[in-house]
Amino acid sequence: MDRFLFLTFDGLSRGAVYAAFALALVLIWRATRIVNFAQGAMAVATAYVAYSVSDATGSYWLGFIVALVAGLLLGAGVERVVMRFVDHSSPLNGVVVALGLVLIIQGVLGMIYGNEFRPATAPFSRDAFEIGGVALLSRYDLFVFAAVGAVVVLLTLLFTRTPTGLRMRAAAFAPDVSRLLGVPVGGMLTLGWALAAAVGSLAGMLVIPTELGLHPTAMDIVFISAFTAAVVGGLDSPIGSVLGGLMVGLLLSYISGYLGATVAPMAVLALLVVVLLSRPDGLFSRRAKARTA
């Protein structure tokens, strides 16, 4: 039972990161119908910037903030310079461009920083403290829950309580109708990409210290898990992506804990295949319906 509890909390902590990353994918999907396969590489790029700043200044938190700002700028830049000019007549075009971005970003990072794993420190202890004699959570896990929870709350408030959030949702639902209502659709898309990339950067900063460290491909496996989480939750559903992230985190934790870590990636892929075959709209998404009524 102690082991089950430990694996559950460990899975929820990891799942929170997948949830944040899946949320970033969903934000872009809802606005542009593109799965941003470059999200992982973009997150790694901002993590490199963050750790460079931290190394230079000795302040983890300054680097952390720089990562989020760099994510905002990188996301806006990618949308304005690259994605805006993608021909949307075929959904494959956006995918191919995003995959091209992955190769470019990883190549540039390799040239600048090298292809060796670099240590990435965590701001809090990762040693689990005991509750009732059972090792459950570390301070770092609590930080992850707080950070992801704050992002989910802030994004929810943005999209439901602010005019900008309403316009972002409107622009994603029906761009032409939105334009008629005075919504600057291009600006909303840029903002959406910027926010998504910043959320991706946060996820990267949270997960990289728990992996082998910084590396140009450090987020590749995380991306697969987060993508699975987004598909499980429904690419159109922000709440679904959060729940999907927690589900995938728990699945990975239980499989790793009871069957061995080598089986876990296969389990994620199996889940992805099962969901795509049985409920391609995701477990938590309202059935795909007309985007305008």
Partner 1 sequence: MSTEPPDDTDQGLALHHITVRFGGLLALDDVSLQVAPGRVVGIIGPNGAGKTTLFNVICGFVGPQSGSLTLDGKPFRPRPHHLTRRGIARTLQGVGQFGGMTVLENVLVGARSRKAEADAWAALERCGVAEHARALPGSLPYAKRKRVELARALASKPRILMLDEPAGGLDTEEIRWLAELIQGAQTTVLLVEHHMELVMSVCDEILVLDFGKPIALGTPGEIRTNEKVAEAYLGAAA
- Minimum gap (Å) between residue 66 Cβ and partner 1: 33
The answer to the question of residue 183 lying near partner 1 (CB under 8 A) is: yes
Among 62, 173, 211, 221, binds partner 1 (CB under 8 A): 173
- Residue 63 CB: number of other CB atoms within 10 A? 24
Contact 18, 222 (CB under 8 A): yes
- Minimum gap (Å) between residue 177 Cβ and partner 1: 5
The two most distant CA atoms of the chain are separated, in Å, by 62
The CA distance from 123 to 50, in Å, is 13
Per CB under 8 A, contacts with partner 1 among 32-71 are: none
- Taking the least distance from each CB to partner 1, the nearer of 136 and 166 is 166
Roughly what angle, to the nearest 10 degrees, separates helices 238-259 and 264-278? 140
The answer to the question of residue 174 lying near partner 1 (CB under 8 A) is: yes
- Minimum gap (Å) between residue 30 Cβ and partner 1: 9
Q: C-alpha angle 46/47/52, rounded to 5°?
A: 100
The CA distance from 141 to 124, in Å, is 9
Residue window 253-292: x/- pattern of binding to partner 1, with contact defined by CB under 8 A: ------------------------------------xxxx
Contact 234, 30 (CB under 8 A): no
Contact 59, 68 (CB under 8 A): no
- Taking the least distance from each CB to partner 1, the nearer of 187 and 257 is 187
Residues 6+ apart with CB under 8 A from 153: none
Q: Which stretch binds partner 1 (CB under 8 A): 69-77, 119-127, 168-176, 264-272?
A: 168-176
Residue window 108-147: x/- pattern of binding to partner 1, with contact defined by CB under 8 A: ----------------------------------------
The answer to the question of residue 176 lying near partner 1 (CB under 8 A) is: yes
The answer to the question of residue 157 lying near partner 1 (CB under 8 A) is: no
1: its two tokens? 């039972």
The CA distance from 81 to 168, in Å, is 20
The answer to the question of residue 84 lying near partner 1 (CB under 8 A) is: no
- Minimum gap (Å) between residue 238 Cβ and partner 1: 11
- Taking the least distance from each CB to partner 1, the nearer of 167 and 215 is 167
Please name the residue that has the structure tokens 């429904």: 234
The CA distance from 235 to 35, in Å, is 9
222-235: b (≥16 Cβ within 10 Å) or e: bbbbbbbbbbbbbb
Q: C-alpha angle 200/90/220, rounded to 5°?
A: 30
- Taking the least distance from each CB to partner 1, the nearer of 87 and 289 is 289
Q: How many residues form the binding site for partner 1 (CB under 8 A)?
A: 22
Q: Which stretch binds partner 1 (CB under 8 A): 1-9, 68-76, 164-172, 224-232?
A: 164-172
- Taking the least distance from each CB to partner 1, the nearer of 139 and 179 is 179
Q: Which stretch binds partner 1 (CB under 8 A): 87-95, 106-114, 135-143, 183-191?
A: 183-191
- Minimum gap (Å) between residue 170 Cβ and partner 1: 5
Contacting positions for partner 1 (CB under 8 A): 163, 166-167, 169-170, 173-174, 176-185, 289-293
